[in-house]
Amino acid sequence: MHASIEQLLELRDKRPIAAEVFLHVEGCIACRQRLDGFGALRESLRALPDAPAPDLWRTISASLNTPEGIRRTKPDRYAYGLTVAASAILVAALAVMLKLRQEIINPTTSPPPAVAVTANPAILPDVAAAADPVLTSGAGPELVELVNRSHALEAALRALPERRVVQRAGTTATIMGLEDGVALIDYRLTREGRQLDTTQSRELWQRRVDLLNSLVNVRYAEVQPAAYQR
Amino acid sequence: MPRFSDLEVDEVTLAAARSGDSRARVGIYRRFSGPVFNLARRLLGGQAQAEEVLQDTFVEVLTNLNTYRGEAPFAFWIRRIAVNKCLMTLRSPWHSRRASLELAEDPPAAGEVTMHEDHGPCRMVDQVALERALAGLSDTSRLVVWLHDVEGYTHGEIAALLGRTASYSKSRLARAHARLQALLDNESVTEPCMQVSNNC
């Protein structure tokens, strides 16, 4: 009867083992090979290359000077919930951004503009655009509604407190992804504003509203941790 | 990169760090960040989680320097904090949920009892394949293998960490090795020793 793996590992680690097992392994080529194999595997594990550690000193130093940073190290349900929500939103935002990028790269795939929304560019930089009577007069009620919702969400974002100095990398990445998505839409509205028909404008504004809505949700969740702190 | 057992901090640096000296604190971070990060990377299997553990470990180390009494080497004190952070991550709902979709228990290895004839004592294990095989272990098995075989933890210490018995740790280690061997054999990643004379 050959020695078991557990017995061979005991032998490898030079721990006491039954004499008959020791004698068997001494005289058994198969067991000795396996024993040597376990030793070699341990050496291989120890020889695995290390990766360079990222330089997180600034973040750690900021955490040490911020009570929030120290509190952050405690496990909380908030972090779990926020991570799940942020991940879902990030996936959605990336999908929107990918689609937008594809459209920008291949503008020929878009149908030719049938109706210009307005003589003015379709881009509505912040609040000024919502009040633009020229745009809203020719855009239809749905588009006006989207524009108004977009500005309401932007106002809600501005009303939230500023972000903390120390942030979770995952949350920051999500927020940056959403902001990039909004910026990409704004870029497209600026560049192609005059050529966009009503449907295209509505689509872009709908995406803008969706992204801003996600952004508000993430930022709102971010400023709520105190409610879950233990 | 040095391991925990190779590192130590002198009393002067430690005292300076306790009193808030930023150079001493940075020095401690620079010296131990590599071992902490790599330990976390091995135990958790992910870069992002390892970074979180690295950050959380040093925040705890530097805020609790005054509680270090010197009973154990300073490096081992840091390592204990890092291992606890890793365990907290492994037990977190987020990680548990992810792990539940993966391998919670190592399946029995087909080649547990026998070993191929050509896998002699001099075989070399390919590092990439070994990394992949390690990743194929369950979280607990990977933790037991790494802490025992690389970090030198005893079965008693591992048992205390996991809230189990030493026998559990031993049996887990044996199963993990069987699984590792099976994974390595399946990928044909081993190279027979080329030395004809000597031991081969």
Q: What does pLDDT average to over chain B? A: 82
Do A73 and B113 count as a contact with CB atoms less than 8 A apart?
no
Q: What is the mean pLDDT of residues A64-77?
A: 55
Please give the structure tokens belonging to residue B182.
């099976």
Do A56 and B178 count as a contact with CB atoms less than 8 A apart?
no
Nearest-angstrom CA–CA distance, B152 and B65: 25
Going by the DSSP 8-state scheme, the letter that residue A225 receives in this structure is G
Q: How confident is the model at residue A216 (pLDDT cuts 50, 70, 90)?
A: confident
In A, which residues are within 8 Å of B170 by CB distance? 6, 9-10
Do A61 and B124 count as a contact with CB atoms less than 8 A apart?
no
Give the Cβ contact number of residue B10 at 10 Å: 9
User: Min CA distance, B115 vs chain A (Å)?
Assistant: 7
Please give the structure tokens belonging to residue A218.
């993430």
What pLDDT does B191 receive? 42
In A, which residues are within 8 Å of B94 by CB distance? 79-80, 83-84
Nearest-angstrom CA–CA distance, B10 and B19: 15
Do B115 and A57 count as a contact with CB atoms less than 8 A apart?
no
Do B112 and A5 count as a contact with CB atoms less than 8 A apart?
yes
Which residue has better confidence, B120 or A138?
Answer: A138
Q: Name which of B22, B93, B180 is nearest A80 (Cβ-Cβ).
A: B93
Do B55 and A60 count as a contact with CB atoms less than 8 A apart?
yes
The sign of the torsion formed by the CA atoms of B176, B179, B183, B189 equals: positive
Nearest-angstrom CA–CA distance, A86 and A214: 9
Please give the structure tokens belonging to residue B56.
């959380």
In A, which residues are within 8 Å of B60 by CB distance? 73
What pLDDT does A228 receive? 40
Do B51 and A63 count as a contact with CB atoms less than 8 A apart?
no
Which residue has better confidence, A181 or B25?
Answer: B25
User: Min CA distance, B180 vs chain A (Å)?
Assistant: 9
Going by C-alpha positions, the residue among A153, A144, A169, A162 that lies closest to residue A63 is A169
Please give the structure tokens belonging to residue A103.
């459209």
Q: What is the mean pLDDT of residues B181-197?
A: 60
Q: Name which of B63, B150, B170 is nearest A45 (Cβ-Cβ).
A: B150
Which residue has better confidence, B92 or B118?
Answer: B92
Interface mutation vs chain A, best among B91, B96, B125, B165, most A CBs within 10 Å = B125
Q: Name which of A48, A55, A79 is nearest B130 (Cβ-Cβ).
A: A48
- Burial class of residue A54 (count of CB atoms within 10 Å of its CB; 0-12, 13-18, 19+): middle
Q: Is the pLDDT of residue A126 over 50?
A: no
pLDDT tens for B128-146 read 899 999 999 999 999 999 9
Nearest-angstrom CA–CA distance, B54 and B81: 10
pLDDT tens for B108-123 read 554 443 344 444 444 4
In B, which residues are within 8 Å of A60 by CB distance? 29, 55, 58-59, 62
User: Min CA distance, A94 vs chain B (Å)?
Assistant: 19
Tally A–B CB contacts below 8 A.
123
Terminal C-alpha separation, chain A: 56
Which residue has better confidence, A197 or B164?
Answer: B164
pTM of the predicted protein model: 0.57
In B, which residues are within 8 Å of A34 by CB distance? 115
Do A56 and B115 count as a contact with CB atoms less than 8 A apart?
no
In A, which residues are within 8 Å of B169 by CB distance? none
Q: Is the pLDDT of residue B45 over 70?
A: yes
Please give the structure tokens belonging to residue A223.
């400023």
Contact criterion met (CB below 8 Å) for A51 and A40 = no
Q: Phi-psi bin for B73: left (phi > 0), alpha (psi -120 to 50), beta?
A: beta
Q: What's the 3-state SS for chain B?
A: CCCHHHCCCCHHHHHHHHCCCHHHHHHHHHHHHHHHHHHHHHHHCCHHHHHHHHHHHHHHHHHCHHHCCCCCCHHHHHHHHHHHHHHHHHHCHHHHHHHHHCCCCCCCCCCCCCCCCCCCCCCEECHHHHHHHHHCCCHHHHHHHHHHHHCCCCHHHHHHHHCCCHHHHHHHHHHHHHHHHHHHHHCCCEECCCCCCCCC
For residue A108, give Cα distances in angstroms to A102, A148, A198: 11, 30, 18
Do A42 and B149 count as a contact with CB atoms less than 8 A apart?
yes
